[in-house]
Amino acid sequence: MSELLVIIQIAGRRCALSAHDVKSVIEIGTITPVPRAPDFIAGITALRSQALTVIDCRRALGLGAGDKPTDDRAAVVASGGHAYALMVDAIEDITTATSEAGQVPGGFGPEWSRVARGMIETMTGPALLIDLAALIAGPDAVRSEIEAAA
Per-residue pLDDT, 105: 73
What is the percent of the chain with per-residue pLDDT over 70, rounded to a whole number?
89
| The pLDDT value given to residue 6 | 95
Burial class (CB in 10 A: 0-12, 13-18, 19+), 23: middle
Domain 4-149, what fold?
OB fold (Dihydrolipoamide Acetyltransferase, E2P) (2.40.50)
| pLDDT tens-digit map of 107-133 | 778 888 889 999 999 988 999 999 999
Domain ranges of the chain: 4-149
Average pLDDT, the chain: 86
The answer to whether 116 touches 125, Cβ cutoff 8 Å, is no
What are the tens digits of pLDDT across the range 26-49?
998 889 999 999 999 999 998 888
